[in-house]
Each structure stands twice: as C-alpha cells, then as structure tokens.
Amino acid sequence: MAQTVFAPWDDPQAKPLIQFKNVTKRFGDFTAIENLTQDIYEREFFSLLGPSGCGKTTLMRMLAGFENVTEGQILIAGQDMAHVPPNKRAVNMMFQSYALFPHLSVWENIAFGLKREGKPKDEIAARVEEMLRLTRLVKFAKRKPHQISGGQRQRVALARSLAKAPKLLLLDEPLGALDKKLRQDTQFELMDIQEKTGTTFVIVTHDQEEAMTVSSRVAVMDEGRIIQVATPAQIYEAPNSVYVADFIGDVNIINGVATKAEDGYLITWAEGQAPFMAKTPNLFADGQTCHLAIRPEKVAISAERPADAVNAVEGQIIDIAYLGNISTYHVKLVNGQMIKAQAANTRRLSRRTFTWEDRVWLSWTDTAAVMLER
C-alpha cells in the first residue's frame, strides 16, 4: 500500500488555514514579533519552538485573539482576524496553567464552551461523553479539578478545548507541568487525538524533544523571528544556521574559510592542518568564512587513522560522558577546539577501547557535516 506523505506545504495548490502576513507586534518599545510571514496548513501539527522571550507565546495569543496585531494581517481560513474577539473565533486554546474552572466539575468544564453556544441539552451531553471517552476521563466526570491528578487535569483541559470542535487548537506548553515519563506518554496521546479529530494543532514549546516528537513541522524562533521552518528531520539534518543547529540537539561547530574544490569545498580551519572536505548545495565564495556543523553521532572515533576517511583529525580524549547506551567523548584537537564524538556502547564498560588521555582519530564523511554561512 502506497503511503502518501503529508506535506501540504510542498503543494502549491494547497490553501493554508492560517496565514501570517508581515505581522509585527510591539509592546511599547519592545518588538515581540518582527515582520513575520508564515503559512500553516490544515491538519498540521505545527510547533513553535524557541527560548523564552522569543515571541512564540505572543504569536499564539494573537491567533487566539488575546493580543492585537500592531502591523500586518493574520488570516484564518481566508478571513482577516483583526477585529474578531476571542469568543467569536473558531479557535480554542489549551492554557499552560490549564485554566480549569475550579468551581465546576470535570463534566461542567468540558460542557462550558458548548453551553455558551446554546446547543440543546442532549446534544451537549452526548458531546461531553464523547470527549470524556476520547481522553479516558469517564470515571472522573463528577470530580472537581482539585480532586484529580496533574495528568488528568491536562486531559480535562485538552477535552475542554476540543469539545467545540475548533478548526484550530492552540496548545501553550501543554506538557510543561508533567513529569518526564508522563510527558512522553502524553505526547503520543496528543498525536493520536490530533489524528483522530483531524484538528490543526499549533503548539508552543521550549522543549526541542517534544517538538521533534509530535510535529509535522517545527518553526524555530529567536527574537521575534522565525529562523527556520521544516520537518523535524530536515531541521535536524539540514539546519539553515548555527542557531538552529545548536538549538536542536547536540552539535560541533568548526569555524573556517571555504575554498571551492572539485565537487565540494575545502575548509581551512587551523594553521598547518589539512583542510576538511564538505559537500553542500549552497554556494560559497572563495575565502568566505563558514561554519561546519557536525552532529556528534556522525563523528567516528578510532585508535588509528582510518585509511579511507575523507576527513580525519587527531586529538586527545579529555572527558567521557557515559550515558548507558552511548558514550560521548570530548576530544581536544591541536588548536584547542573541542569536538564531541558519540559511540554506541556495544561492549561492556570494562572492555571499553578508549579512556581518558588517549590519543585518538576522529573521522567523518564529506556529507556528514553541514556548511553554514551564519
């Protein structure tokens, strides 16, 4: 059976559900969002990822209608949202604090939005039951929010925001208050629910692992701008800047000067050392400074120089971080640069090949590293 890949952003025919058009948001002198243009498509699970204060929450609050746009336009399903108050938008939000009404039971919390629509009683009851089943909360319907656990509260908040079947669901750090184990379980639950309901999810998070796990696309933000938007795999394998490479996962950055070679570039990184070889679709001028980003797991470590290696460099092990399944070796090169190399611990610890102070060779292929301009 042929699987069609979900990628409406590559389809020029697809109509986006949300369009940001040159959106700027200022709070007094402070610019929270600067001239941002971005499309989000139906059924997407779109993550806004960035450090705190990067504008991701502001962006979400503008979608919900709690903040006005200073300049530019936000369109949802083609409609300009400029003067539409939050209660008139087909958008619901799940708050970071969950914002469950403490005086209402779980059932009443979920029914709250439906009652405002003035739907008939039995219709509301049926919808609430459906939501309770979806989030596995049937047993807790009569409890008050303070009588259930954190994970259950999170599910009530989700059920409440989904009850009105919004076109768009906004999730503000939805799993922030949960512990790690519960968070991982809930991530898959969220994806499952998103798939079942077919709702478009926009999620704000500062946890890159969470963003990678759940998203169809991730937008990495910094200081009010989106730096890169791509699928989790692209973001990881082909970051467009040192900022993105550094924000997502672990990375080694080597600064150098590029020179064009036959089918790639030579990067001079230290005096008296052989240049590194890298292939890239991007164009670099001769003599242009560049940054080589290499993921630690793509760096091989060996006692002797591998005969067929394109890039190989000698160094000394300064530190070893043992993580159980893998170890990260911190290796110091001749010019003082530290390079992290990861190796799977396929043998027992006592039979480890390398130890502190050992001189080793690091090597990687010409496609392993990403050449970045900035």
Binding site for another protein (CB under 8 A): 64-66, 85-87, 91-93, 95-97, 99, 101-103, 112-113, 116-117, 146, 160-161, 164
Tell me whether residue 86 or residue 306 sits nearer to another protein (CB atom).
86
- Least Å distance, CB 110 to another protein, is 10
Tell me whether residue 135 or residue 280 sits nearer to another protein (CB atom).
135
- Least Å distance, CB 233 to another protein, is 33
Tell me whether residue 48 or residue 94 sits nearer to another protein (CB atom).
94
- Least Å distance, CB 115 to another protein, is 9
- Least Å distance, CB 106 to another protein, is 15
Tell me whether residue 34 or residue 67 sits nearer to another protein (CB atom).
67
Tell me whether residue 84 or residue 333 sits nearer to another protein (CB atom).
84
Cα four-point dihedral sign 345, 348, 353, 357: positive
Tell me whether residue 128 or residue 339 sits nearer to another protein (CB atom).
128
- Least Å distance, CB 194 to another protein, is 19
- Least Å distance, CB 87 to another protein, is 5
